[in-house]
Amino acid sequence: MPQRPLILVSNDDGYVAEGLRELADTLESIGDVYVVAPERPRSGVSRMITLHKPLRVIPYDRERRRMYCSGTPTDCVYIALNHILPRKPDLVVSGINRGANLGDDVTYSGTVAAAFEAVAHGIPAIAASLVAHERPDFGPAAELTTRVASEVLANGLPPRTLLNINVPNNYNLQRGLRVTRLGRRGYERVVDRRDDPRGYPYYWIGGPELELDDSPGTDCNAIHQGYAALTPVTLDLNNDELAAQLASWRLD
Amino acid sequence: MPQRPLILVSNDDGYVAEGLRELADTLESIGDVYVVAPERPRSGVSRMITLHKPLRVIPYDRERRRMYCSGTPTDCVYIALNHILPRKPDLVVSGINRGANLGDDVTYSGTVAAAFEAVAHGIPAIAASLVAHERPDFGPAAELTTRVASEVLANGLPPRTLLNINVPNNYNLQRGLRVTRLGRRGYERVVDRRDDPRGYPYYWIGGPELELDDSPGTDCNAIHQGYAALTPVTLDLNNDELAAQLASWRLD
């Protein structure tokens, strides 16, 4: 009898998040699941890694191999891969995030960062997000992510590449999904200056979302049209075109 | 008389770091410099952005337009671009980091993240690092970075791309620099489990560096051979090759 696939699940909303539970439960239909997730919400933490202080790992459901870790999503995946799992897993799935991870936002995302850490370790990975903040329904997104996970287990992924999935809320799975590119997600770039009760200024950064990038083929566009978006994302950050041009610069 | 270039300087080692001061002082030879840097060291913080709490910004040298911010490198650049600077700057330079930022490490780096935030705002950016932890000599690295900055001001950079510079310690500027690609930087992937005085386990992640990637043309290789490395790094994370293949997957 062939071994069941071993799947690690993490997220950035923290171990109590409903999207994590729904995802882990659904993935158990196709493999043996471990959960190592952050102790508290870590949205927007990107690929932060904790090298200057030690970490704790605490089981919250020992029978079902579910535990939380005091670090970031990247820390969770690192420590799971190098200390907790009994062998190298076949797949790492991060999510389901409450809220979209589209376009440039993937570079800030803790959800996507957890998948990147897996990819940096040579393990196929998926990041999954639900485009909803109110009354989120994680069921269809978990189902769709599990379908994609099955295909990744069957087909593999190229090195240094993850799949980023965004699913609209209350999604009808009959719609299937669209393969997309990362678009540009625009926010109003504002700084909100306020005065504290002692009269000193403090600042809130970030503003409301502007119109979505509606270029055809982008993840933003697919979501705008009511489709789930599946985007291959690479860890290869080289710009070879510019490298070739730099030879003509006077740098010596 | 043409306007002098406006240059924003930040880092991830914090505003008291010697590498930041040396860089800002040297850049003043080619432009008007603002410094907005983190209040405390923020190494390995990647593109973390602070959306759940407010930030403080405090001048520590008002005459020279130097201030620190309670947030991450990304926060510093965001708040500088959108609130502090009198106009859109011509260039953002991050560093000089104490320690290398080579290969995959650029995805964890706060130094590179500050430059990425500028690029996401459509502003040319440079990240600079000194390959030294003991007895660092930032002078030559600041000089070389300023030369590269002059060229960026003269030639511009393509959209969504930054330049990542690593300079060996005690560098002889006569050597010039090499245009490179990001290599793979290998670390021993270990987790060090210890018991606290109460008998409970805690974990340190990360191990010592393994051999540098010596593939010709990589930044690691250039440093290994004693050269400064100049690497174009892109924010475009699309993998179009895989996107084309996904059409054959059974995802519906």
Q: Which among A55, A205, A235 has the least Cβ separation from residue B202?
A: A55
Give the distance from CA B214 to its chain's centroid. 22
CATH superfamily, with its number, for domain A6-184+214-248: Survival protein SurE-like phosphatase/nucleotidase (3.40.1210.10)
In this prediction, residue B167 carries a pLDDT of 98
For A206, the token pair is 């970030």
Question: Closest by alpha carbon to B21, among B8, B7, B35, B31?
Answer: B35
pLDDT, residue B145, reads 97
Q: Do A237 and B107 touch (CB under 8 A)?
A: yes
Instruction: Establish whether the linkage from the previous residue to A96 is cis, with ω within 30° of 0.
Output: yes
Interface pTM, i.e. ipTM: 0.88
Does pLDDT of A101 surpass 90?
yes
Residues paired with B218 in a beta bridge = B181
Structure tokens at B170: 């005690």
pTM: 0.92
Q: Which residues of A111-142 are buried (b: 16+ CB within 10 A; e: fewer)?
A: bbbbbbbbbbbebbbbbbbbbbeeebbbebbb
Give the domain ranges of chain B.
Answer: 6-184+212-248
Chain A residues in contact with B203 by the CB 8 A cut-off are: 54-57, 79, 83
| pLDDT tens digit sequence for A160-180 | 999 999 999 999 999 989 999
Interface test with A, best of B85, B105, B160, B203 (most A CBs within 10 A): B203
Q: Round to whole Å and give the CA distance between B237 and B128.
A: 22
Nearest to A118 by CA among A72, A163, A81, A155: A81
Average pLDDT, chain B: 93
How does pLDDT run across A38-63, given as a tens digit for each residue?
A: 999 888 888 899 988 999 999 999 99
d(C-alpha A203, C-alpha A181), whole Å: 34
Helix (H) or strand (E) run with residue A180 in it: none
Helix, strand or coil, per DSSP, at residue B210: strand
Contact list in A for residue B234 (CB cut-off 8 A) is: 237-239
pLDDT at B1: 56
Q: Do A78 and B234 touch (CB under 8 A)?
A: no
Q: What class is the B6-184+212-248 domain? A: alpha beta
Distances (CA, A) of A168 to A17, A132, A138, B110: 18, 7, 10, 32
- Could you tell me which chain B residue has the CA closest to the CA of A77? B205
Q: Do A51 and B74 touch (CB under 8 A)?
A: no
Rounded to the nearest 10 degrees, what angle do helices B18-27 and B138-155 cross at? 40
Closest residue, chain B, to A232 (C-alpha): B239
